[in-house]
Structure 1
Amino acid sequence: MTSTMTISIERTPLTITREGLAIQVEELSVRLPFARKPADLSEVGGFGNTRILVTETREMTQSDFDSFASNLMKSRDWLRGKGGGTGDGYFCVEVHAPGRPYLYVNPEGGDYARYVARLG
């Protein structure tokens, strides 16, 4: 028998000023550990609890998600120039596909998944 679990994470809309620009984000009610430069999903996890500020969500097919998660160091145009940090938090792209975990990606201005946290 297979069972399903649903997790609800509260999101708080915020406007954060960074370098003189107002950025609309959603702060997650949980903090997660980030892995630095993980090669694939097996290396995501770690220590610490970092504040997550979601700047955008990218929905993927299961196939696209699996391809992304199996090669996190690969250059991707849709990550270029995004991410960064503020105080105790990271600006993240939320990545999700049906039946897969949520990933929070901070490319730190680059074009690959430099810092990654996982939920689920």
Structure 2
Amino acid sequence: MTIMTITIERTPRTLTVGGNAIQVEELDLRVPFARKPADLSEVGGSGSYRVFVTETREMSAIEFDAFAAQLLLSREWLSGKGGYAEDGRLCVEISAPGRPILLVDPSGSDYGRYVARIG
């Protein structure tokens, strides 16, 4: 088995969103987001957006697989997060051992409304 390591430069930033200052990490890459993908096979999309990570959620491989299989399922921990800022998306970064990195922008909802994949 080959293990791939992805290194992404991150820059701490303060964004003003809706009159509130929030701390984010801007990723040094632009990615396409899929709108309302049902599962990981539908993640791709078009366009190219900057990514502002508002939080990182570590999962086990089993938790990740369950999440990625039902991206439209309601999840309380996504509720009210995400949105659009500058020319990028406010995202929850999701990682698990041996899995791609997912960037989820629920845009105020509680499911994976916009999802990108790295790896």
Q: Indicate the TM-score class for this superposition, using the shorter chain for normalisation.
A: over 0.9
Instruction: Give the superposed CA RMSD.
Output: 0.7
* Helix, strand or coil at the partner of 2:67: helix
TM-score (structure 2 length as normaliser): 0.97
Cross-structure match for 1:118: 117
Q: Distance in 1 between matches of 2:96 and 2:5?
A: 15
> Which protein has the bigger strand share?
2
Q: Give runs of aligned pairs for residues 40-119 of structure 1, distance below 5 A.
A: 40-119=39-118
TM-score scaled by length of structure 1 = 0.97
Task: Tell me how far 1:47 sits from its aligned partner.
Answer: 1.3
Aligned length: 119
What is the CA–CA distance in structure 1 between the aligned matches of 2:113 and 2:3, rounded to whole Å? 31
> How big is each residue's C-alpha offset from its partner over 1:2-60, in whole Å with a ceiling of 9 and x where there is no partner?
32222210000000011111100000001100000000000000211110000000000
Q: Which stretch shows the higher mean deviation, 2-11 or 60-69?
A: 2-11
Identity of aligned residues (%): 65
Match of 2:26 in 1: 27
Equivalent-residue separation in structure 1 for 2:2 and 2:66 (angstroms): 26
- For the residue of structure 2 that corresponds to 1:66, the secondary structure is helix
Unaligned runs of 5+ in 2: none
1:62-89 superposed Cα distances (whole Å, 9 cap, x missing partner): 1110000000000000000000001310
Q: Find the aligned partners of 1:3 and 1:20 in 2 and give their Cα distance.
A: 46
Which runs of structure 1 show a deviation greater than 3 angstroms over 4 or more consecutive aligned residues?
none
1:12 corresponds in structure 2 to: 11
SS at match of 1:117: strand
- Match of residue 39 from structure 1: 38
User: C-alpha deviations, 1:84-103, integer Å up to 9, x for none?
Assistant: 00131000000011000000
